[in-house]
Structure 1
Amino acid sequence: MRHWIGRKVAVYRATGIREPLKGTLVEWDEEAECVRIGPKRIKVSFDNIAMIRPLPEESLPLKKARSEVHKVGYVMKKAIQFENAIYFKSQVMIWRRAKIVALSTTILRHDEDQVELADGRVLRKDKHMFVVRSRRGIR
């Protein structure tokens, strides 16, 4: 059953809870007889699994949490972060789900719902993840 690792899944539980756990199957541990569902690594024992089904990519919502560290910088969530990226002409990486929309671009302007890029494209904030590239370690 290791073919489920890394895939977006819905885990239906045998305890009668109707809502399935949705996320990425991070780990299949046969010794501990459990699976871990990401992003919070929730542990579900094999005894508590009734069924596992794959999910399409669009079924999981984008994170609405505060800004978090990304491996190339910081995820922008607040208006001041977008304004600083515009002011300092920071390089921004843009993702839509698991696909990169723009590897390195700058933002010209933004409003509450959308962002205009240097190449003229207009992208919605709720459909994309904007990662401002940091200059950590550079003096």
Structure 2
Amino acid sequence: MRQWIGKPVILYCGEPPYVTFRGVLRKWDAAAGRIVVGHQETGVPLREIVMIKALAPKERALPPALNPVGYCMRERQQFDNAVYFKSAVTVWKGDRLIALNTTLASHTKGSVTLEDGRTLIKGNHQFVVRSLRG
């Protein structure tokens, strides 16, 4: 069954009407009893899978891409989501670019920690996030 790793597949799970998962099969973890599929790395238990089929070329989804439109983060929820989803964030201080397409490691009420370890003050910087489409 490991021949499916790295291939675009469609998984049929449960009982009819089947729940389907589409994407590239990333991992086959027999010890945990699951496989990982798609760019969001969705874990599917092996006992739930009824059938695995190769995706036809016309059924394959486009790879995820950054949304060309960004928005300024100001609310706590926006920072939470950027950390959780590892969204691409551009950081500006005035008209100077501080970081391009970085991710946020964490944030507090007044500061943000970038993936490279730098800590920036929210009041002094502007954080523009771009979501991932696909």
> Normalised by the size of structure 1, how large is the TM-score?
0.46
